[in-house]
Amino acid sequence: MAKVIVRDLAKKFMWTIVTGDSDSLNRPLTLADTNRPGLELAGYFPDTQTKRLVVLGDKEIGYIEEQMDEISQRRSFGFLTGDSTPCIVVAHGHECPPVLKEIAQRKNFPVFKTEHQTSHAIVSITNYLDECLAESVVIHGELVRVFGVGVLITGRSGMGKSEIALELIKRGHQLVGDDRIDCYKIHDDLVGRTTPMLEGFMELRGVGIINVSRMYGVGAVAHETQIEFQIDLEPFNDSYEYDRVGIEEKEYNEILGIKILKMTIPVSQGRPMSSVIETAVTNFLLLKDGLDSAKEFEERVGLMSEKNRSTVYDVVKNYVTEKIGDLTGLEVMATCPRSSQSKIRKRNTGNGVFFGIVDLHKEVEKNI
């Protein structure tokens, strides 16, 4: 069964039907694109994608009325009303050309008219078809909006996903779907929603089905959301070494060709999972803004560790050496002529190069 038929578009955009009976409205649409048939009206047909919906706008109608005779119209409209073409829409309130109307009636081909401007009609049709014809996959889990971020919570059955989602709802976040999540690839975004039958409902073991919107208000439910972050729940394992700092390489999950950040969180008795997930999402938002807490901590530890630093002198020395190379005492005095020799202390580095980097740092500041 086709995902979208002509009848769906005619109803959605309230087009006025010009030709075609009820059966003609069952033609399927398989491409999320439209065709403005400039070349076809000029008589060139070889490269035409006939499965696209045809839109006649101001330019096409003007060309038909002013440049095309009846013979050329019959040839072009006979081609445009083929079996694989879904329908023709005449935009911006124009009347259907008489020759097109005659041919369409004979073929029982659907032709519509709309008052919308051509560009507006094309954008509306394309966006609608993009969503309806989008590639999709069904995932078992919970989908919630936490701080505006679409979070997909996955894990094996019995991990408490629904209970965690309910706690998040009680904390002011939104439920998108429970148990069955339909994921769609729309443009370059991964969008998730649940089936209309299940929207707003949750199943809790031992309680049954609950209506979330009635219990917690209509604001507790969202129709759909972009999925940006996945949290996978697993039982806590004492023998497994979990990432405690967050400096390990980030893990991503690919769904319909789109990569989303994935975090595995262990679940144990008494652990406040709703708070943990809120914290994980907040950290995710910081990452999006370029603020990596784990990396910042790693840099701080690296700066303070005995392995990389024994004194402030060594830190500054290593940094300057890395940037501009080793300097001798004579080079220091040449760089800072106002500094006294007593301020330039020799420090043997083991290779004959000595240095008073701290004093140099101070003297450079004075001389700038």
Active site residues: 140, 161, 179, 244
3-state SS of the chain is: CCCEEHHHHHHHHCCEEEECCCHHHHCEECCCCEECCHHHHCCCCCCCCCCCEEEECHHHHHHHHHHCCHHHHHHHHHHHCCCCCCCEEECCCCCCCHHHHHHHHHHCCCEEECCCCHHHHHHHHHHHHHHHCCEEEEEEEEEEEECCEEEEEEECCCCCHHHHHHHHHHCCCEEEEEEEEEEEEECCEEEEECCCCCCCEEEECCCEEEEHHHHHCHHHECCEEEEEEEEEEEECCCCCCCCCCCCCCCEEEEECCEEEEEEEEEECCCCCHHHHHHHHHHHHHHHHCCCCHHHHHHHHHHHHCCCCCCCHHHHHHHHHHHHHCCCCHHHHHHHCCCCCHHHCCCCECCCCCECCHHHHHHHHHHHC
**192, 143 in Cβ contact below 8 A?**
yes
**32, 130 in Cβ contact below 8 A?**
yes
**111, 193 in Cβ contact below 8 A?**
no
Structure tokens at 254: 């690919």
Phi, psi (deg, nearest 5) at residue 207: -110, -45
